[in-house]
């Protein structure tokens, strides 16, 4: 690892602190180095708040050192006026002449303009240090801007004999396959993503809340497929406590109190239409939590980026089979007696 990689790696570590709180902005970390010593660092914490470069510069105690320092940033400094002034202008104004950038910003308002502005001001700019790692850090942001859809995460729990639900559910509530630690981790994941989707059967059978009650963080936007509006009106999904998008084919229904209806053509490519709706709502990431039919539909359409699969120790012997898919396993973790495997779509 060379010296630039060392500090960009630190930028990535800092940026991860903003996961779940920076939407619609990307995750960004920045460090300022003088004579191989970090004299300032920061990350972007929330949309509308100062960006990573601003926080890093503000944290430097001796501002006279800035003109002799190098600023490292995981993503290209912005060059436009949004909710905050351009970071590239601040770097120039502070007299920082050396800038090392992990990756160029895919957002059309930036997309190389920040780099160009810095170079035209006489800065020595180096781009592409740990580029793949910096792009992976912002996989949601890059997917949204480059593919015009949210980053899609499939998630389910399956028994030791590969069922995700029993044949018959006696009560209208979830049947737990995994333990409390796995359950809490799922709530943490929900706080990190912008939207969460379930199908009609899951909404009726489990009556899920789809919130983050077991973890401190923002609730994702709830999305539910309800073609014929069959889900009972007293369901937890319709309590209006969280923005909820209902995907249906029935006559137009007006939105009110956090409940939004989007009309789809269920005779056409459904996952693609869902992605288009979520893109219009500026949702950069989506967890699909079921059921089996919904998950399999996205798998068959090859519209998924990551799959997170829990395996418990219980057996159902019969019931609803877990989805069938192929992907590259990138991690395997044990949570007590549960096993979590994470795959990416190659």
pLDDT in tens, 176-220: 899 999 999 999 999 999 999 999 999 999 999 999 999 999 999
Instruction: Please check whether residue 100 is in contact with residue 7, taking contact to mean a CB–CB distance below 8 angstroms.
Output: yes
- Mean pLDDT of the 293-314 span: 97
306 catalytic? Reply is no
Neighbours of 205 (CB within 10 A): 21
Least confident segment among 105-114, 179-188, 318-327: 105-114
Kindly name the residue from 53, 76, 193, 262 that is annotated as catalytic.
Answer: 53
> Which of 259-281 are b and which e, b meaning 16 or more Cβ less than 10 Å from the residue's Cβ?
bbbbebeeeeebbebbbebbeeb
Reported as a pLDDT band with limits 50, 70 and 90, residue 252 is low
Phi, psi of 124 (to 5 degrees): -85, 105
Q: What is the pLDDT of residue 175?
A: 82
Least confident segment among 98-112, 139-153, 283-297: 98-112
Distances (CA, A) of 205 to 5, 102, 220, 301: 50, 46, 21, 25
Query: Annotated binding site for Zn(2+): which residue ranges?
Result: 51, 78, 87
- Topology of domain 148-344 in CATH is Dihydrofolate Reductase, subunit A (3.40.430)
- Mean pLDDT of the 92-96 span: 96
Greatest mean pLDDT among 106-110, 173-177, 179-183 lies in: 179-183
Distance CA 57, CA 31 (A): 8
Distance CA 124, CA 18 (A): 28
What pLDDT digit, counting tens, does each position of 132-158 carry?
999 999 999 999 999 999 999 999 999
Distance CA 63, CA 159 (A): 58
Q: Is the pLDDT of residue 107 over 90?
A: no
Q: Does domain 3-142 have CATH number 3.40.140.10?
A: yes
Rg (CA), the chain: 23
Q: Per-domain residue ranges for the chain? A: 3-142, 148-344
In whole numbers, what is the pLDDT of the chain averaged over residues?
94
- pTM, rounded to two decimals: 0.93
Query: Annotated binding site: which residue ranges?
Result: 51, 78, 87, 157, 176, 190, 202, 206, 210, 213, 289
- Mean pLDDT of the 37-54 span: 96
Distance CA 253, CA 248 (A): 9
- Mean pLDDT of the 251-273 span: 88
Q: What is the pLDDT of residue 290?
A: 84
């Amino acid at each position: 690892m060379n010296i630039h990689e060392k500090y960009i790696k630190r930028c990535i570590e800092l940026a991860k602190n903003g996961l779940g709180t920076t939407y619609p902005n990307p995750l960004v970390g920045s460090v300022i180095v003088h004579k191989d010593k970090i004299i300032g660092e920061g990350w972007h914490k929330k949309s509308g708040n100062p960006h990573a470069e601003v926080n890093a510069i503000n944290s430097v105690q001796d501002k006279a050192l800035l003109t002799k320092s190098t600023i490292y940033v995981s993503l290209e400094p912005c060059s436009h006026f949004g909710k905050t002034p351009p970071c590239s202008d601040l770097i120039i104004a502070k007299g920082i002449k050396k800038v090392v950038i992990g990756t160029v910003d895919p957002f059309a308002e930036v997309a190389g303009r920040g780099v160009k502005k810095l170079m035209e001001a006489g800065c020595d700019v180096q781009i592409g240090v740990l580029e793949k790692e910096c792009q992976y850090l912002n996989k949601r942001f890059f997917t949204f801007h480059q593919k015009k859809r949210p980053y899609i995460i499939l998630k389910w729990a399956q028994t030791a004999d590969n069922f995700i639900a029993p044949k018959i559910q006696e009560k209208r509530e979830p049947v737990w396959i995994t333990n409390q630690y796995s359950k809490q981790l799922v709530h943490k994941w929900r706080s990190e993503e912008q939207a969460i989707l379930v199908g009609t059967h899951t909404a009726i059978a489990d009556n899920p809340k789809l919130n983050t009650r077991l973890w401190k963080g923002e609730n994702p936007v709830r999305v539910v497929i309800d073609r014929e509006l069959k889900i009972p009106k007293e369901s937890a999904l319709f309590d209006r406590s969280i923005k909820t998008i209902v995907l249906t084919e029935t006559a137009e229904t007006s939105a009110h109190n956090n409940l939004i209806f989007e009309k789809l053509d269920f005779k056409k490519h459904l996952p693609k239409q869902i992605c288009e709706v979520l893109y219009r709502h500026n949702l950069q990431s989506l967890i699909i939590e079921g059921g089996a039919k919904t998950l399999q539909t996205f798998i068959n359409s090859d519209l998924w980026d990551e799959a997170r699969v829990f395996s418990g120790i219980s057996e159902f012997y019969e019931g609803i089979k877990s989805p069938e898919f192929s992907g590259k396993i990138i991690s395997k973790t044990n949570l007590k007696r549960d096993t979590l495997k994470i795959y990416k779509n190659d």
